[in-house]
A and B are shown apart, each in its own frame.
Chain A
Amino acid sequence: MERYRVFDHTADLGMEIYGRTAGDLFSNAAFAVFDIITDLSQVRPRETRDIVVEGSGWEDLLVNFLREVLYLFNGDSFLSKECFVSEIDEVRVVGRVSGELFDPFRHRIHKEIKAVTYHQVMVRKTPELWTGKVIFDV
């Protein structure tokens, strides 16, 4: 199954993310962010980082989760290869990412994602699929 798709948005970057479960959706969203930032085949799962985030509903939770995911790189220069969500409900998500610190000699930055926005953020659930939509400032 396709994990995410990028769509065009004036000065910015929109992303539609898919998952069979809410956990899937969130881990695919984290994957998508780093898949856009860098070539993930060059990133090794050498360290892990834990993420615990709260929100006031699915949309708010997704934005807060992605803000945290993005800070891994923007604040800590950490590139995440995969993300595993261990607990999730509408107001809280617990996850663990694995990856390594950015190394300018090994990793190329394809695109800078500067911030996650609340604009048109959406999480929708159908019996077989969870879909999320987020717009990033790039």
Chain B
Amino acid sequence: MSEQMTGLKKIDDCRWMVSMTGGMRVPGIIYSSERLIKEMGADESPKQVANVAHLPGIVKFSLAMPDMHWGYGFPIGGVAAFGLTEGIISPGGVGYDINCGCRLVTTRLALEDVRDRVQDLVRALFQNIPAGVGSKGVLKLAARDQKKVLIDGAKWAVDQGYGTQEDLETTEDRGAMKGADPEKISARALERGREQLGTLGSGNHFLEIEVVEEIFDADAAAAFGLERDQVAVLIHSGSRGLGYQVCDDYLALMVKHIGELGFPLPDRQLACAYLSSPRGKDYLAAMACAANYAWANRQMLMHWTRETFEKVLRKPPRELGMKLLYDVCHNIAKLEQFVVDGKEETLCVHRKGATRAFPPGHPALPGQYRKVGQPVLIPGDMGTGSYVLAGTERAFTETFGSTCHGAGRVMSRTQAMKASKGRAITREMAERGIVIMASGKGTLSEEIPEAYKNLDEVVDVVHRAGISRKVAKLRALGCIKG
């Protein structure tokens, strides 16, 4: 596809401009590479970057990260910030799975300590952690407890004995977003959330045992407590049915009142409300509830992971040293302070399939990371492992403190199913040294590595563009999926 056809203009080796046309209020910028732009083919995500630029109150640019692909309304990999007085908030700019995110747990184990035990660990994790379509957790929350989860997030889980206070220190927002109001959540959302707390979910969610394969930045790695050959666990999950229902409820509500916005929307899925309006505030309060639910969820999943390691390896917690390096989300809208045209301003930053990447010195960072920047966790597709990056000053000034979130799909699920037909995916993975257990057979076929963009390429772009810095690469050893 020619650049003219897509309306994209190359700025430099890492950035492409979506020029202003029609009702766009700001230009778009896509972080990418020649190869990724080419691979995008007929994907309509650049058009979605342009659509987002139509929304009122948008500041500077409509942005997209190199793992960008087509989403509903906003592209996946999209970042957009809005001013509080004229700006909007959009459920489609957050995504259905509110606070879908990752947490990385480091250990004191080295590869040789677990090499022969990966199979046992994966099997035990699969047994102890509910996963799969509509899976139910071990808890059935009373209404009063559920409201506490929605307000207190990960702290609720820690108070119940799932983990320690120390875990909260290294969780984004200490695992509880402010402003959560359970009154703004529908009975349906509460109902869907009641039995799913402490479940991994299905689709692209997973829990993976990994080993640190390469260190790129020794100082940052030391601050993060990462070293070569070290074993770690990556958990990728979200707010389950509760988050979906919150998005669904508010999307329908905002679509219903689309006529009151006073401007034409290029796509109904971009339905939104002014941040200053009661509807906008209600969504923000409901979204915070779902975000907190997700943090409690990942906290519980981590707790069972620790227990499983203790049991299988017969080692006490002290010897395993399973420490939460960081927990960060990649589907969220947050009120954060930035300098715009020399003035400090609070903006509502939408990150839909994009990760916060705050720079060294930012007050939101825990003390031990303040010198090197915020840890950014980038999960790969099934079996490729993951990256740990660090946030930068450049991200703060260029991308509202945001970077990529993963590999990004290139194949549709149906295409992936076709491509994997007749193949024994579990065995293929085993031949590459990765033990996989999944509750749904279809999941493995839909999530084959070829279905995703090359993670190395995506991470190289954000590293070269300077919107985050490579710290370490981890390789997968074993994985459980829904």
- Chain A interface (Cβ < 8 Å from any Cβ of B): 6, 8-13, 56, 60, 63-64, 67, 71, 73-75, 77, 102, 109-112, 114-119, 121, 137-138
B25 CB, min distance to chain A CBs, angstroms: 22
Query: What are 16 A-B contacts with C-beta separation under 8 Å?
Result: A10-B69, A10-B70, A11-B71, A12-B412, A63-B252, A75-B188, A75-B191, A75-B241, A110-B442, A112-B203, A114-B203, A114-B244, A119-B73, A119-B267, A137-B96, A138-B203
Q: Which of B177-222 contact A (CB under 8 A)?
A: 188, 191-192, 202-203
Q: Which residue of B lies closest to A111 (CB)?
A: B442
A11: which of B70, B191, B202 is its contact (CB, 8 Å)?
A: B70
Q: How far is the CB of A137 from chain B (nearest CB, A)?
A: 6
Q: Which of B71, B73, B96 contacts A115 (CB 8 A)?
A: B96
Cβ-closest chain B residue relative to A138:
B413
Separation of A116 and B415 alpha carbons in the complex (Å): 21
Whether the Cβ atoms of A75 and B133 lie closer than 8 Å is no
Question: Min CB distance, B161 to chain A, in Å?
Answer: 29
B415 A137 Cβ-Cβ under 8 A: no
Within the assembled complex, what's the spacing in Å between the Cα atoms of A6 and B267? 23
Across the interface, A112 reaches (CB within 8 A) one of B202, B251, B256, B409, namely B202
A11 touches B96 (CB 8 A): no
Question: What is the chain B residue whose CB lies nearest that of A7?
Answer: B414
Identify which of A9, A109, A114 gathers the most chain B CB atoms within 10 Å of its CB. A114
User: Is B43 an interface position by the 8 A CB rule?
Assistant: yes
B406-419 near A? 1/0 per residue, CB < 8 Å: 00010011110000
Contact A118 to B255, CB < 8 A, known contacts A77-B134, A109-B133:
yes
A109 to B413, CA, bound (A): 16
Contact A118 B251 (CB under 8 A): yes
Cα–Cα, bound, A137→B251 (Å): 14
Q: Which B residues are CB-close (under 8 A) to A121?
A: 268
The B125-175 residues at the A interface (CB cut-off 8 A) are 133-134
Given A111-B442, A114-B244, A117-B269, the answer on whether A71 and B188 have CB atoms closer than 8 Å is yes
Question: Are B252 and A10 closer than 8 Å at their CB atoms?
Answer: no
Given A8-B415, A60-B255, are A112 and B134 neighbors across the interface (CB < 8 Å)? Answer: yes
